[in-house]
Structure 1
Amino acid sequence: MLALITLITVERGFELLVARRHARWAAANGGVEYGRRHYPAMVALHVGLLVGILVEVAAAHRQFVPAVGWPALAATSLVQVARWWCVRSLGPRWNTRVIVVPGMPLETRGPYRWLRHPNYVIVVTEGLALPLVYNAWLTALLFTAANAVLLAVRLQVENRALGLAS
């Protein structure tokens, strides 16, 4: 269990490094950040997902259930690939923060060809799948509920920032 959580944690650290580099690029190109107030809550929620899995598995003595765990692991692996497809498609515009460079068109390549916010579909899927690899169903439920509230805020901020809100 610790190996997968460690890999996800390392991947998140790498994401943050990429996001910082992209934030510097955005700032150099006139980028404006929106929704700073919800960002700490988002970080806490995602850290809570990883910690919650570890705590629930240890405290509740959760056991690996192959019928759920293997498909959940496959889904978790697929969303990691899909996440980096989003990053690659957006290039330096991708960020964990909502930073918009004025005058840049909306992305229509990669997964953005079909979905306006594919990364959020990925986050929702991961929030369910990753805990279920270890049968941490309570963490999956709590994260999903809290993430629904956060995503409502985040989508509103991002849509307004991108000029998509009516």
Structure 2
Amino acid sequence: MMGFLIVLGLVVAQRLGELWLADRNTKRLMAEGAVEIGAGHYPLFVILHTAWLSVLAVITPWTAVPNPWLLAAYVGLQFVRVWVIATLGRYWTTRIITLPGAPLVRSGPFRFVRHPNYWVASLEIALLPLMFGQVWIAVVFSLLNAALVAYRIRIEEAALAERRS
């Protein structure tokens, strides 16, 4: 069975589609006067996510079959991811882009938790390798992601502080 290749292919396709959408939204927001904050660390996210998927692709046997419970959890996360993206709409990007005067989004999943997209991505980084029995990949990349997300949240919170009042 080619379960691993199908799952990995779908994840890569999803990520590429999201990068396209994020780039479109970023360009639109910048044309409206938005500014990017903390651009220097963005390539680290690209490297982290690329390395995560690449290491998983190289180490995992292509005949690996996904754990059905973890696959179901991962699929469930995709509904939350779509909810986050739909809630932010044209403001959703993979970068920290702030448009002066734009209201902060406080609906959807943002009613329940701050930074829901980071929670989703963090859970994905753990679940996808675990789904195929790759515990060490889940641990290593979860720790790297946690450090990078903690740094990014500090930058994002500072950028949004003036709009939180």
TM over 0.5, yes or no?
Answer: yes
What is the TM-score when the length of structure 1 is the normalising length?
Answer: 0.90
Deviations 1:15-64 (A, max 9, x none): 01100110111112211101111111101111111112122214xx9954
Q: Distance in 1 between matches of 2:17 and 2:29?
A: 18
User: Is the CA contact (8 Å cut-off) linking 1:75 and 1:126 kept in structure 2?
Assistant: no
Identify the residue that residue 106 of structure 1 maps to in structure 2.
104
Deviations 1:73-122 (A, max 9, x none): 11111111211111100011110010011111111111011111101110
Identify the residue that residue 22 of structure 1 maps to in structure 2.
25
Identify the residue that residue 52 of structure 1 maps to in structure 2.
55
Residue ranges of structure 1 left out of the alignment (5+ in a row): none
Identify the residue that residue 95 of structure 1 maps to in structure 2.
93
1:70 to 65, 68, 71: 68
**Amino acid in structure 2 at the alignment position of 1:77:** V
Alignment length (residue pairs): 160
Q: Following TM superposition, where does structure 1 have runs of at least 4 consecutive aligned residues deviating by more than 4 angstroms?
A: 61-64
**Once the two structures are aligned, what percentage of the paired residues are identical?**
37
Identify the residue that residue 40 of structure 2 maps to in structure 1.
37
CA root-mean-square deviation: 1.8
**Amino acid in structure 1 at the alignment position of 2:147:** V
1:10 to 9, 13, 17: 13
Q: Distance in 2 between matches of 1:49 and 1:79?
A: 18
Residue ranges of structure 2 left out of the alignment (5+ in a row): none
